[in-house]
Structure 1
Amino acid sequence: MPKSLISLLLFIIVSLGGNLCHAETRIIEIPLTLDFSLLRSFLVRQAYKGPMESAQVVNKDEGCTQIKLWNPVIGRENGNLKITNQIKVKAGVKLLGMCLDPVSWQGKVEVIQSPAFDPDTWIFSVKTLDSRLLDEKGEPAFVANIIYSLVREYVHAYLDQFKVNLSTPKRDLEIQLPLFFKDDKRREVESWLKTLRPGLPEMTDQGVKIELAMRVAEPVPTEQEEELPDEEVVTDLTQGDRQAFIKYWETWDAYLVREIKALAGEPLTRKEKDVLLEVVLKTRHQFFEILDSGHTDQDLVRKQFLWSWQRLAPILRHHLLDEPHGSLFSFLSFFTAADALAVLDRLGPSLGLEISESGLMRLARLVAKDQKYHSLSYSYERDSLLQKILGLPPLPPPTGPGLDVEDIPLEDFGVDDREQRSGRIWDWLVKPAWAGKGPTGLEEIKPWLYWRTDSEKYFKAVFTLVDHACQDALAKDGLDPKYHELFLKIARASAWQESCWRQFIKKDKSVTYLRSYNQSSVGLMQINERVWRGVYEPKSLCWDIKYNVRAGAGILELYFRRYALKRLGNDHNLDDSTLAGLIYAMYNGGPGQYKKYLKRHAVKKYWLSDRLFAEKFTQVKAGDLGKCLDCLRTGG
């Protein structure tokens, strides 16, 4: 009889005496997965405590008989576990204080073990079935019988002591799961958890999986969404609702960052970093778009949590479970809880699943390597660790002003409105960037108050500044040189489109930095503060024009190289104008715009922002920049 059928029959027999009384219920299975890397970490922590992950299995008769194991590797062989070790055996006879005729051999040993699980104690264990000795090349070894006998006597018994008590993740699941349901549903969820019964262990390509069967109320089933959904449930927001929605999402975004930062110090591949970055950018851009619409999707956090989990779980499992540190049980609890949420979500929204702040807080503590309490605070300050994990090259430290103010009175600049400042821009460009001229940093801002100087000279200065920032971005990364000129033109057109080349504007009798109509983006390159939270210094984006332009150039280069060219391939058939439009669409709306823009292009139904950028790019490409001056002169 198949194991899964036996497990189901046992569950039904036990649950008949339960206290859950729903007219319609169904049995779901929550996977508790012991990845091979996790099992190895547990094994090393228990049994390989010597130097370089070694184990002295036996050492008797004053060293006459010894067995040493090291470098264990765990995998599968059919329906069993296979542990491969380096092994060194010494066998002799102790007589009159001497070790007579010792035989030594070194090679590999493969130990085949059957996994077992006690549903009463929740203890996972193993039983050795057989072993094989191999030479260093992996071929069957021919050794003396005494070597075989010692291995079977001591190695089998030593490795059979390996056990993992899974009551901790079970207990954590019982605590965690109710936190992800609405208050009026939690008592019912607790009753579901009383029916939780483990099945028999099964071998998978990933490791050992134990299905935890649980009886839940039967909701209306819905299909699982494979992509981050675009549509939102439109709900008009009061001011109070809006603030609550923002705070709720900010807690989720802070949790997502905490989850990603658990990978600090891990040898992430470029592909893994790309996945992490895309998750961050897509979820943030989607939130911003919904917020900007004036409506909300009340299930947004739940959808984003589950969508991101599908993409992050393989990376987190691969890197967090391969070290025998003290966080292993917490990580196992973390993965089990998150997998349970994914299973429950497939039953449909009527189940009442809700990603609560308290639930996120507890998951954050589980995934923290240092196991300390962490708040999920939402800060705009630059996070160099997050920047490194996402694979983003750091900008040079800001050397210009990073003021903690919203505006500055015109009189503080000490310059009369009628004063002509024809030479200062060029003086600035040939001197070391942002050379300090005063304690407040206002001298560095003066050259960029475009209404105080000749517009042609101002434009040439900003144009040069954008080009220098592009050269810096191209020097850091590997964009093919054949695209360098195109990249410069895209950056120029983007600066024109985003801000009409302005970092600062005059407001009443004050100077302030340029903000977008919806207050989300700042400066000449209109960097979205929410989307790029933690990546750039927020005050410098506002008050340091050079820093802002460098950030924008870096973002454009990122979308060009890591998104457009990577997905299109070197043999793409897009002309320069279409490729430029695609890159700007992502700059403006995130990586989700890659497919959307190409769909719009295919049917020639462009957004207004697409058309406006295309006009500017055409003029930049042709060298016709006369309208740039008109833009500056009219302020629009």
Structure 2
Amino acid sequence: MIRLISLLLLSWCLSPPLAAQSRSLEFPLNLRPAFIEQLLARQVFAGADTSLRVWEDGQACNYLDLAEPEPRLADGHITTRARASAQVGTAIAGRCLSVVNWQGYVEVDQQPALGIEPGTVQFRVTDSRVFAADGETAGVVGTVWKWVKKHVQTRFERLQVDLNPLLGELRQLLPQVYPQQPAPIQRILEGISLQSATVDAERLTLTLQMDLPPGFVDVPMPADEPVLTPAELERWQQSWRQWDAFLTHFIRQAGQTAVSAQTRAELLAVLIEARRDLLPVLTRPNADTRSLTDLFVKTWQRLEPVLQDLSAQLPAESAMHYLTFMAAADMLATIESIEGQTGLTLNADALRRLARLANPDVGAELLQYSTDVDPQLRTIFGFGPPLPRLPSALPPPESRADDPEARAVSGLGGYMLAVRPMLVLQDSHYVELVERLNGWAPTLQVLDEYLPLVQELLDRVVGATLNRHELAQRYKTLFRPLVLAIAWQESCWRQYVKQAGEVRPIRSNAGAVGIMQVNQHVWRGFYELDALQHDVGYNAMAGAEIVHHYLVDYAIAHKEHEHEGGMDNLVRATYAIYNGGPSHRDRYRRDNVRASLKRIDQSFWHKYQKVREGDPLVVAECYTG
């Protein structure tokens, strides 16, 4: 026993510290049945209309054709069933005397295995069968099957997956995202390999492996100053803008390729959540590059399952590009999830390289950060053409702030001529409402005049929104009180407040502005930032449009009204999303929610009930309480 203890102590003393040991990481690439089907179409069934002539006698008298492959995945193997047609005959005097014409099916079982060439997967045929048209019996062609079976198996064994282009992309990416560690990165590059290929009922999984060498984690990072200097602040602003531009471009591109509305809604939710995650970072005086790394990891955890679904909807070549991106992103996120520092750098070159994994043709616009409205972004995600706004030639709001005579517009002159023809709310009374409310910071003494005007404006905005965007009749009764209650909750129906003697648009620390508190960072590209601040009608329309989006694409789409509580749940869920982002959709019915969020939700629900009961002007409680 003493000798045993001594040996254990000696081995422990001689072994390297844990931090100095290398660490192996694995990254699964999941290929769905649709992807396998596309590979079959490209590599095996390459004829017209996804067909394959398996065998013929050279005179087109005896042949077997296959078409329309449908792979099914099971534990350990892939079974592909294809429609089959065969002819058996005799060639006489240059003509074919047909003896048998047959229609049926062929099934082929294959098992994946690592190929002879590194980075490749081959599919070995383990069995094959033939069925008559009823799908059950072999039929008359059963005897012929023995003659052509080997030809079928030979053709199917052409199927392979070659990951070498993917591995090549990873080897080019790593030195760019870890520029501070050239020697360890070289060791990693040499060790990246394909380890296994397995099949279950849902996917073919190809597992990549890489080894992190000793010392790769806990790399000394440059110490950050307690407060950023102006130059450091400028570099930080450039970094987060590049990250935001990269993510926006990538999600816009993914949204263009997505087939289903649900996938597009999930992609937009990732963008919204990522931008919301960025908000507290923007207000920190000592933010550093690690902040972007943390945001990258958090965003990837949301984006990965959406891209998995998206890749199954794409042609094989495009799907492989997305799989390459997913492998790279998953690799980086896994490494960065390890405790410690690694020196990950998400600079412009690294982001461009990462984006080109998904789309090799990405252009110079990738990292362009703009606050302009992006009509393409709005169209892809179902918002339609840009919202109309009143012309920017309005007098400065401050000049009309406390002047009742200036607010009481008696004539609009040539102003209406400048209103865009597409303006849904084009009537002169709407313009007059906006004119009167713009620049007005209400006080308790004028609420009797102010609140009815805001109510009328919001009612018109609700009607315009329902004209622009579809909503099933059964949900329309929810929409008006929902919009009015949110405007009450968010701003007390105010676009402007008076601060230090000046009238300014009401604004939160996180960048939300106006009557609907539309966040300018979160909704960059969807709305005009200047109009959100200085046009109460535009801000109200933007907010109502966002409410509609959250109600339809999240609350209704996820069937919140089918939980206990019924239709009221749609209201609660929509506001929870409006307040906290798509990930907050079900917080109103969860127990593990912070007390502060529960109070916010209860406060909103109180307001919604008041508005629904028919007295929205009780918003005056904001000013008296």
| Aligned CA-pair RMSD | 4.6
**Deviation at residue 89 of structure 1 after TM alignment:** 1.6
**Deviation at residue 359 of structure 1 after TM alignment:** 2.5
**Deviation at residue 149 of structure 1 after TM alignment:** 3.3
Q: Which residue of 1 aligns with 2:254?
A: 263
CA contact (8 A) 1:68 1:88 kept: yes
Within the candidate set 257, 278, 282, 1:287 is matched to 278
Cα distance per residue 1:331-365 (max 9 Å; x no partner): 34223212322432343333444544433211211
**Deviation at residue 148 of structure 1 after TM alignment:** 0.4
1:360 aligns with 2:347: no
Q: Which residue of 2 aligns with 1:469?
A: 461
CA contact (8 A) 1:365 1:373 kept: no
Within the candidate set 22, 25, 28, 1:25 is matched to 22
SS of residue in 2 equivalent to 1:149: helix
CA contact (8 A) 1:402 1:543 kept: no
CA 1:521–1:43: 2 relative to 1, 3 Å:
same
**Deviation at residue 85 of structure 1 after TM alignment:** 1.4
Q: Which residue of 1 aligns with 2:4?
A: none
CA 1:435–1:71: 2 relative to 1, 3 Å:
same
Which segment is superposed worse, 185-194 or 290-299?
290-299
**Deviation at residue 282 of structure 1 after TM alignment:** 1.8
CA contact (8 A) 1:504 1:514 kept: yes
Distance across 1 between alignment mates of 2:457 and 2:434: 14
CA contact (8 A) 1:235 1:296 kept: no
**Deviation at residue 380 of structure 1 after TM alignment:** 2.8
Q: Which residue of 1 aligns with 2:209?
A: 213
Distance across 1 between alignment mates of 2:206 and 2:407: 77
Q: Which residue of 1 aligns with 2:435?
A: 446
Q: Which residue of 1 aligns with 2:72?
A: 75
**Deviation at residue 531 of structure 1 after TM alignment:** 0.9
SS of residue in 1 equivalent to 2:212: strand
Paired residue type of 1:187: A
Which segment is superposed worse, 84-93 or 449-458?
449-458
SS of residue in 2 equivalent to 1:176: helix
Q: Which residue of 2 aligns with 1:195?
A: 191
Distance across 2 between alignment mates of 1:607 and 1:77: 46
Number of residues paired by the alignment?
Answer: 588
SS of residue in 2 equivalent to 1:85: strand
Distance across 2 between alignment mates of 1:485 and 1:322: 36
Q: Which residue of 1 aligns with 2:389?
A: 400
Distance across 1 between alignment mates of 2:161 and 2:493: 62
CA contact (8 A) 1:513 1:522 kept: no
Q: Which residue of 2 aligns with 1:312?
A: 303
Q: Which residue of 2 aligns with 1:4?
A: none
CA contact (8 A) 1:219 1:348 kept: no
CA contact (8 A) 1:327 1:371 kept: no
SS of residue in 2 equivalent to 1:27: strand
Q: Which residue of 2 aligns with 1:541?
A: 532
Cα distance per residue 1:10-29 (max 9 Å; x no partner): xxxxxxxxxxxx95213322
Distance across 2 between alignment mates of 1:602 and 1:184: 41
Q: Which residue of 2 aligns with 1:95?
A: 92
Paired residue type of 1:590: G
Distance across 2 between alignment mates of 1:138 and 1:507: 78
Q: Which residue of 2 aligns with 1:151?
A: 148
1:170 aligns with 2:167: yes
1:125 aligns with 2:122: yes
CA contact (8 A) 2:374 2:526 kept: yes
Cα distance per residue 1:301-348 (max 9 Å; x no partner): 333333333333333233335554644543342232123224323433
Paired residue type of 1:287: L
CA contact (8 A) 1:60 1:66 kept: yes
TM-score by length of 2: 0.77
Distance across 2 between alignment mates of 1:120 and 1:207: 23
Within the candidate set 99, 104, 109, 1:107 is matched to 104
1:489 aligns with 2:489: no
CA contact (8 A) 2:587 2:593 kept: no
Distance across 2 between alignment mates of 1:488 and 1:288: 29
CA contact (8 A) 1:33 1:336 kept: no
CA 1:536–1:48: 2 relative to 1, 3 Å:
farther
Cα distance per residue 1:52-92 (max 9 Å; x no partner): 22233345534212332221222334423322211212222
**Deviation at residue 172 of structure 1 after TM alignment:** 1.0
Q: Which residue of 2 aligns with 1:66?
A: 63
Distance across 2 between alignment mates of 1:44 and 1:305: 36
Within the candidate set 494, 498, 505, 1:514 is matched to 505
Does 1 or 2 have the higher relative contact order (CA < 8 Å, sep 6+)?
1
CA contact (8 A) 1:219 1:347 kept: no
TM-score by length of 1: 0.76
Q: Which residue of 2 aligns with 1:6?
A: none
**Deviation at residue 158 of structure 1 after TM alignment:** 2.2
CA contact (8 A) 1:455 1:629 kept: no
Distance across 2 between alignment mates of 1:78 and 1:608: 49
CA contact (8 A) 1:420 1:452 kept: no
Alignment of 1:216-365 (within 5 A): 216-217=212-213, 236-266=227-257, 268-269=259-260, 271-292=262-283, 294=285, 296=287, 298-321=289-312, 323-324=314-315, 326-365=317-356
CA contact (8 A) 1:421 1:452 kept: no
Paired residue type of 1:446: E
CA 1:196–1:541: 2 relative to 1, 3 Å:
same
Which segment is superposed worse, 308-317 or 453-462?
453-462
Cα distance per residue 1:202-252 (max 9 Å; x no partner): 324444434333322357999xxxxxxxxxx99755544444333323322
Q: Which residue of 2 aligns with 1:623?
A: 615
Distance across 2 between alignment mates of 1:113 and 1:334: 28
CA contact (8 A) 2:465 2:545 kept: yes
CA contact (8 A) 1:564 1:582 kept: yes
Cα distance per residue 1:113-156 (max 9 Å; x no partner): 23333354433333323211123443232233453034314322
CA contact (8 A) 1:600 1:606 kept: no
Cα distance per residue 1:149-191 (max 9 Å; x no partner): 343143222222334433211111111123333x322431221
Paired residue type of 2:58: D
CA contact (8 A) 1:67 1:90 kept: yes
Paired residue type of 1:378: Y
SS of residue in 2 equivalent to 1:88: strand
Q: Which residue of 1 aligns with 2:13?
A: none
SS of residue in 1 equivalent to 2:41: helix
Cα distance per residue 1:266-294 (max 9 Å; x no partner): 56445434432332222211211332355
Distance across 1 between alignment mates of 2:492 and 2:399: 25
SS of residue in 1 equivalent to 2:341: helix
Q: Which residue of 2 aligns with 1:7?
A: none
Paired residue type of 1:302: T
1:134 aligns with 2:131: yes
CA 1:356–1:104: 2 relative to 1, 3 Å:
farther
Distance across 2 between alignment mates of 1:75 and 1:551: 46
SS of residue in 2 equivalent to 1:126: strand
Distance across 1 between alignment mates of 2:548 and 2:74: 47
**Deviation at residue 521 of structure 1 after TM alignment:** 2.9
SS of residue in 2 equivalent to 1:184: coil
Distance across 2 between alignment mates of 1:450 and 1:372: 42
CA contact (8 A) 1:74 1:81 kept: yes
